[in-house]
Structure formats: C-alpha cells, structure tokens
Amino acid sequence: MNNNNTIQLTYREALKQSIRQALQKDERVFLMGEDVGRYGGAFAVSKGLLQEFGPERIMDTPLSESGFVGAGIGAAIAGMRPVVEVMTVNFGLLAMDQIVNNAATLYHMSGGQVNVPLVLRMSSGIGRQLAAQHSHSWEPLFAHIPGLKIVSVGTHEDARQVLLAALEESDPVIIFEYTSMLNLESEISTNPETVDLVHAKIRKEGKDISIITYGAAVYKSLEAALDLAAKGIDAEVVDIRMLRPLDETTIFTSVSKTHHALLVEDAWRSISISSEISALIMEKSFYELDSPVQRLGGVEVPIPYPKHLEDACVPQKEDIVKKVIKMLHHD
C-alpha cells in the first residue's frame, strides 16, 4: 500500500478480488469450472474462495467444457448469475456449440422471451511457455458472433471491475483475461471507476498518433508511448476494451485528433479485430488520416514453446516504437 487512495496488487489478485466482490454482492452468483475449487484454479485466481464461500458457490466441474458451459446456460435462464471459467481460450472451442447455438441465439430465437445472463471467463494470449494448445489469442473468433458481448481485460483496474459490470447484463458476456499478466503488479485506486461495457478507454492522451489496442498489448503500448515521448513523439493509447460491440466514436475521435493510427494486438494479423477497426476507419474517417492505417499483429504460426520464439510471435514494446517512428518518418 502506497497511500490511503491506492493499493499495489497483481493482476491475479485483482481478478480474485472481482470474483469475491461479486459473490458477496449477489447470492445468485456462483463460480464453476475445472479446478476452481479445491485446487484454487489453474492459475490460482480462485485460491481460497472455496473455503470462504463453500461448494455450492465454488463448484468444481468434470473435464467437459460443453457440459458445464451448458449447465451455466441453464442456470442463467433459470435466474441465477453463473460465472463459468473456461481454463484457456483454446478449450473454449469444445464449448462452441453451446456458446454459438444456445447462449448467443436463444434471445433472438425466442422472440425476446429468453435471456441468458451468463458470464464466461477465459484465459487468453501467450501462456508463458504453455505451447500451442494453451496460448492463442482467439478474441476475434468470439467477437465475430452476434448475440455476445466480448470484453478484453487489459489493465488491473478493469480486472477488478469488469466482472461486476458483466453480471449486470441480461445477455451473455465473455471476458478475456491474460495469462502472461497474472504476476504483473500495478498500483490502482482503492475506489476504481465503474466499467460500463460500452466505452473504450483513453489510457494516455496524445496528439501525434493513435495506438489502438487491447488486452496484453495495452501495457506494452503504454511503455512504447513513454519511449516515444523521449523521442519527441506524443502518442495516444486507446484501450478498445469492448471488442463487441466496438466503441467507434472513441476510436474516430482519437484518429480525428492525431490523424495517424497504428492498431496493435497479439492475435493473428489476418481477419482480426485490427482488420475490422482498419476497415471502419477507412469507411468513416478516411479524410481525417494523414497516412495509411497500419497494423501490428501476431505472427501467423501456432504459438511455439521456447520463450524466445513465444515472445517473437507477438508485438513487443520495441516493435511498436519502431513502427511508429517509421510511420511518422522520424528517422
């Protein structure tokens, strides 16, 4: 603790505090997933919560994503507020039938009679040498699906607040958390702002270029902005945060101010969130641009195991700095 208004904590602890607060606030809320109880979660996010809240609210499930996601959908329809943890985004593929054909469609298919207030939490991104079956950034895959809200938790503040906002929604929300950030510490306010699941967030104001990003790339973009400032470049960092629906207004306002846009994400570059935002900027803010929109994305290979190759697969701070300098011709 640094003073009475801020606290130092890890990303993991911020996530845990959000779950604890949600459980305390609403007795309808419960957590279910693989190893979330006695083991304390695959990444220790729920460690200690079973002892605090008991097995009726912290439920270990069989290794069947389709089964327990389906159970969560049923509980949500019946009036509960389930928080379903899918260990990694890769395992989310095993529940795609439930997510796409049930959670995302029931409101539409019932003519607005059936809501599914389900919250799915998934760990995403490179997994600190967990290799190709545990490490991908597949947020664009889920953001493609109408009927879902998709949230990316790129900061400690959001890690502690997003779950509470998601549980207020009457339709399904998928929250992407980031394995690589779990041990990262940050100082946050003891009274953080409420997240509204509507607006993107300007993490740093700037006037020379808009770095538009989300997830694990947010802090890297902020670090890059500091390095760029030392070189006389004032970069603005926009955390998209909501991947579906996108907050187009905040994006366009930033581009209209800086007249340059670099889109940064760990997901594969092709057919990505950045692809969609680039198209939107070209369609609706083309005449605000002084240079073409540029993208930095993940290298299009399965994530390798060796750390140096894993790091090389996603944009790093140095890549962002070099790209911005090249875009602005500050040689």
Q: Domain segments of the chain: what residues?
A: 6-189, 201-328
Structure tokens, 86: 């899918």
Q: What angle do CA 109, 168, 237 make, to 5 degrees?
A: 105
Determine the average pLDDT of the residues in 254-275.
97
Equal CATH topology for 6-189 and 201-328:
yes
Give the other-Cβ count within 10 Å of 131's Cβ: 14
Nearest-angstrom CA–CA distance, 295 and 266: 11
pLDDT digits (tens, 9 = 90+) for 120-144: 999 999 877 888 888 889 999 999 9
- Res. 1: pLDDT tops 50: no
Q: Which two tokens stand for residue 182?
A: 């779990």
Give the model's confidence band at 281: pLDDT under 50 very low, under 70 low, under 90 confident, else very high: very high
Query: Is the pLDDT assigned to residue 55 strictly greater than 90?
Result: yes
From CA 89, how far away is CA 139, in angstroms rounded? 8
Q: Which of 34, 65, 157, 236 is catalytic?
A: 65
Candidates 59, 239, 221, 39; CA nearest to 159 is 239
Domain covering 6-189 in this structure, CATH number: 3.40.50.970
Alpha-carbon distance of 98 to 67, in angstroms, equals: 9
Of 85, 134, 260, 310, the catalytic one is 134
- The burial class, CB within 10 Å (0-12 / 13-18 / 19+), for 253 is middle
Q: How far is CA 195 from CA 164, 177, 222, in A?
A: 8, 15, 20
pLDDT tens digits for 287-331?
Answer: 999 999 999 999 999 999 999 999 999 999 999 999 999 999 865
Write the CA distances from 114 to 69, 104, 111, 121, 169, integer angstroms. Answer: 17, 11, 8, 22, 13
Q: What is the pTM of this model?
A: 0.95
Active-site residue flag, 65: yes
- At 5 the pLDDT is 86
pLDDT in tens, 221-238: 999 999 999 999 999 999
Q: How far is CA 11 from CA 15, 16, 17, 92, 328, in A?
A: 6, 9, 10, 22, 34
Plot region of 197 (φ>0 → left; ψ -120 to 50 → alpha; else → beta): left
SS3 per residue for 163-181: HHHHCCCCCCEEEEEEHHH
Question: 6-49 pLDDT, tens per residue?
Answer: 999 999 999 999 999 999 999 999 999 999 999 999 999 999 99
Given CATH 3.40.50.920, say whether it is the number of domain 201-328. Answer: yes
Closest C-alpha among 77, 149, 83 to residue 119: 83
Whose CA is closest to 247, among 142, 116, 151, 112?
Answer: 151
Name the token pair of 218. Answer: 């947010």
Active site residue 56: no
CA distances from 89 to 125, 133, 138, 233, 244 (A): 8, 9, 7, 36, 17
Query: Cα 149 to the chain's mean position, in Å?
Result: 11
